[in-house]
């Protein structure tokens, strides 16, 4: 089990606060529609960045940067609770098919985005570059 220092917790809290503020800003400027596109975009972008994050040299060199950006900033930016609440609200208001599509679409898009981010950020082996 990893022991966390109190300074790491402060970094996660600071990063989480910044991520939550950015999420609020995106939600505030986005128009209201039946499908909660801002939450979908936030979660997909967050998944992509989480896929890229381990490949960044600064993240690999500094566990403090890693906790600030990963569980901190991206943890505050992305939101499973809002996504789940929005799916429930869509279904409860009679939009069951839309709720199902939003549920499955967000999950699929997030998984694909994380895999794409990881793939794009992966260092190329010399023989792969030559092909």
Is 8 within 8 Å of 62 (Cβ atoms)? no
Total structural domains within the chain: 1
Is 2 annotated as contributing to ligand binding?
A: no
Query: Is 128 domain-assigned?
Result: no
Q: Give the other-Cβ count within 10 Å of 99's Cβ.
A: 19
Domain annotation covers residue 48? yes
- pLDDT tens column, 19-49: 999 999 999 999 999 999 999 999 999 999 9
pLDDT tens, N- to C-terminus, the chain (131 residues): 456 688 999 999 999 999 999 999 999 999 999 999 999 999 999 999 999 999 999 999 999 999 999 999 999 999 999 999 999 999 999 999 999 999 999 999 999 999 999 999 987 666 655 56
Q: Is 71 exposed, middle or buried (0-12, 13-18, 19+ CB in 10 A)?
A: middle
60 Cβ contact partners less than 8 Å away, ≥ 6 residues apart: 54, 66
Q: Measured between alpha carbons, how far is 83 from 75 in angstroms, rounded to an integer?
A: 14
Is 75 annotated as a binding-site member?
yes
Rounded to an integer, what distance in angstroms lies between the CA atom of residue 45 and that of residue 107? 12
Q: Which domain holds residue 39?
A: 6-122
The verdict on residue 130 lying in a domain is: no
* Residue 21 CB contacts under 8 Å (≥ 6 apart), including other chains: 76
- The pLDDT score that the predictor gives to residue 41 is 96
Domain-located, residue 127: no
Look at residue 1 in the predicted model and tell me its pLDDT. Answer: 47
């Amino acid at each position: 089990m990893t022991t966390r220092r109190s300074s790491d917790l402060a970094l996660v809290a600071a990063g989480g606060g910044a991520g939550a503020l950015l999420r609020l800003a995106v939600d505030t400027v986005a128009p209201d529609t039946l499908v909660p596109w801002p939450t979908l975009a936030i979660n997909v972008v967050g998944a992509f960045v989480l896929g890229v994050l381990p490949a960044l040299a600064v993240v690999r060199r500094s566990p403090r940067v890693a906790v600030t950006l990963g569980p901190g900033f991206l943890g505050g930016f992305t939101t499973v609770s809002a996504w789940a609440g929005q799916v429930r609200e869509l279904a409860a208001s009679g939009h069951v098919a839309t709720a199902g599509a939003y549920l499955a679409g967000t999950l699929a898009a997030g998984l694909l985005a994380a895999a794409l981010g990881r793939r794009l950020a992966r260092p190329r082996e010399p023989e792969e570059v030559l092909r």
